[in-house]
A and B are shown apart, each in its own frame.
Chain A
Amino acid sequence: MSNNIIEVRDLKMYFPVLRGLLKRKVADVKALDGISFDIKEGETLGLVGESGCGKTTVGRNLIRLYKPTDGSIVFKGKEIAKAKEKDLGWVRREMAMVFQDPYSSLNPRLNSAEIVGEPLKIHNLVSSKKEFNERVEELFVMSGLSPDMMDRYPHEYSGGQRQRLSIARALAGDPSLIICDEPISALDVSMQAQILNLLQKLQEKREGLSYLFISHDLLAVQYISKRVAVMYLGHIVEMADSEELYSHTLHPYSQALLSAQPLPDPFIEENREVVVMQGELPTPLNPPSGCTFHTRCPMAQKICSEKAPELKDVGCGHCVACHLV
Chain B
Amino acid sequence: MNDTSSIMAVDVDGQLREFRVLDEELLPPVNEFKRFWRVFFKRKVVLICFVVVLLFVFAAFFAKWVAPYDPNEADYYSVMTQPSSTHLLGTDTLGRDLLSRIIYGTQIALEVGLITVIISAAIGTVIGLVAGYATGAVQAIIMRITDAIMAIPSLILQLLISQVVGHGTFGVVVAISLTLFPGYIRLICGQVQSVKQNDYVQAERCMGASRSRIMFKHILPNCVSPLIVQMTMMMGVAILSEASLSFLGLGITPPTPAWGSMCYDGYQYLMTNPLLSIAPGLAIMLLVLSFNMVGDGLRDALDPRLRGSLN
**Which residues from chain A sit less than 8 Å from chain B, CB to CB?**
23, 63, 65, 88-89, 91-93, 95-97, 99-101, 104-109, 118-119, 122-123, 141-146, 148-149, 152-153, 155-158, 161, 166, 169, 173, 194, 197-198, 201
Instruction: State which of B27, B32, B207 has its C-beta within 8 Å of the C-beta of A158.
Output: B27
Given contact pairs A65-B202, A107-B200, A142-B1, A122 touches B208 in the complex (Cβ within 8 A): yes
A-B pairs with beta carbons under 8 A, tally: 101
Q: Apart from A92-B208, A122-B207, A145-B23, what 11 extra A-B contacts exist at CB < 8 Å?
A: A23-B136, A65-B206, A97-B206, A104-B200, A107-B222, A108-B304, A118-B204, A118-B207, A142-B2, A146-B23, A155-B307
Q: Min CB distance, A45 to chain B, in Å? A: 18
27 contacts across the A-B interface (CB closer than 8 A): A63-B206, A88-B208, A91-B208, A92-B208, A95-B206, A100-B199, A104-B198, A105-B199, A105-B200, A105-B202, A107-B198, A107-B218, A109-B221, A118-B204, A123-B208, A141-B1, A144-B1, A144-B4, A149-B24, A155-B30, A156-B26, A158-B26, A158-B27, A161-B23, A161-B26, A169-B203, A201-B2
Q: Is the CB of B27 within 8 A of A148?
A: no
Query: Which residues of B (176-201) have their CB < 8 Å from a CB of A?
Result: 197-200
Chain A residues, CB < 8 A from B213: 122
> Does B208 lie within 8 Å of A89, measured CB to CB?
yes
Whether A118 contacts B222 by the Cβ 8 Å rule is no
Asked if B209 is an interface residue, CB under 8 A from chain A, the answer is: yes
Query: Which residues from chain A contact B206 at a C-beta distance below 8 Å?
Result: 63, 65, 92, 95-97
| With contact pairs A105-B200, A148-B24, A152-B29 given, residues A122 and B209 touching in the complex (Cβ less than 8 Å) | yes
Query: In the bound complex, what is the Cα–Cα distance between A91 and B5 (angstroms)?
Result: 33
Query: Does B254 have its Cβ within 8 Å of any Cβ on chain A?
Result: no
B30 with A156: CB separation less than 8 A: yes
Residues from chain A with a CB closer than 8 A to the CB of B221 are: 107, 109
A residues near B200, Cβ cutoff 8 Å: 104-107
Q: B13 contacts the other chain (Cβ, under 8 Å)?
A: no
- The answer for the CA separation of A33 and B35 in the assembled complex, in Å, is 51
- B308 CB-CB contact with A under 8 Å: yes
Q: How distant is A132 from chain B, measured CB to nearest CB, in Å?
A: 15
- What is the 8 Å Cβ interface bit string for chain B, positions 295-311, against chain A (1 contact, 0 not)? 00000000010011000
B209: shortest Cβ distance to chain A, in Å? 5
Residue of A nearest to B220 (CB): A109
B contact residues around A141 at 8 Å (CB): 1-2
In the bound assembly, the distance between CA atoms of A145 and B198 in angstroms comes to: 24
A197 close to B207 (CB less than 8 A):
no
Chain B residues whose CB sits within 8 angstroms of the CB of A91 once the complex forms = 208
B11 at interface by CB-CB < 8 Å: no
List B205-264 residues whose CB lies under 8 Å from chain A.
205-210, 213, 218, 221-222
**Listed residue (B2, B202, B205, B213) with the most chain A CB atoms within 10 angstroms of its CB:** B2
A96 to B208 Cα, complex, angstroms: 10
CB neighbours (8 Å) of A104 from chain B are 197-200
* Contact present for B4 and A108 (CB under 8 Å): no
